Structure 1
Amino acid sequence: MIRDDIKAAQITAMKAGDKESRAAISLIQSAIKNRDIEERVKSVQTDDDALVIEVLQKMVKQRRESIEMFEKGGRQELADAEKAEVAVIERFLPAQMSDEETSAAIEAIKAELGASGMKDMGRVMAELKARHATTLDMSKASGLVKAALS
């Protein structure tokens, strides 16, 4: 399980004295704990790995947005710190689908659903997320789905 990998990485980082990795992993564990608390009130529980992956993807997205803002603001040292955190977080994410694989998945779903235009984008995105949410960057997929349907 990804949760176990994160705990093992935390111990390894502590033993190695890697403060940056240890801090980033602590943030990961904190975000996962917060999400666990949110999940307690739901009637339908999410698969554990899917929950952890969702949290990690959200963290990466937030950091990428921060990196962009820091670079625009001329704060390269802060952008570099965020990039280091992204590198640590991405170690725990499963391999992401390439653009070619994503396009192939979109085409398969488009054919299955009989999608023909932009009015079907929601259905295609929902199906894409249901099948490939853990291995796909949904923000990139959105642009590819738009291109495929237009």
Structure 2
Amino acid sequence: MPRNIKFIVVHCTATSQNTSISAIQSYWKNQLGWKMPGYHFIIKPDGELVQLLPIEQVSNGVQGFNSQSINISYIGGVDQKNIPTDNRTLAQKATLLKKLKELKLKFPLAKIQGHRDFPNVHKACPSFDAIKEYKDV
């Protein structure tokens, strides 16, 4: 049965930009005990898009909303002191915009928003206002 996608959710990893995808995946599995990844897609600082999970499957992006969400993240989102900051590279911004446009074509009714824009979320993720930035996508 196809999933009813209502949200395309933008995330940051809340790590330094030189954090490897394998380290992030290891954290999910070993620290959080997740069986599924946190995002469907992750974007490296050089702009490379890596798919971690088919969009037909449910990832662990936003508690309570995962069955109706596609989750996409960029590596970064905090500075050296772990303070939330929008440190997306130009390549990450370009890849993110391109992927959001593709997903919006496939799911025209889905709302693009940040993780922080969901109810009862107490984090800065993705460290910028995704609703405002992508309102015209």
**TM-score, length basis structure 2:** 0.28
Bigger strand fraction:
2
Which protein has the larger Cα radius of gyration, Structure 1 or Structure 2? Answer: 1
Greater relative contact order (Cα 8 A, min sep 6): structure 1 or 2?
A: 2
Bigger helix fraction:
1
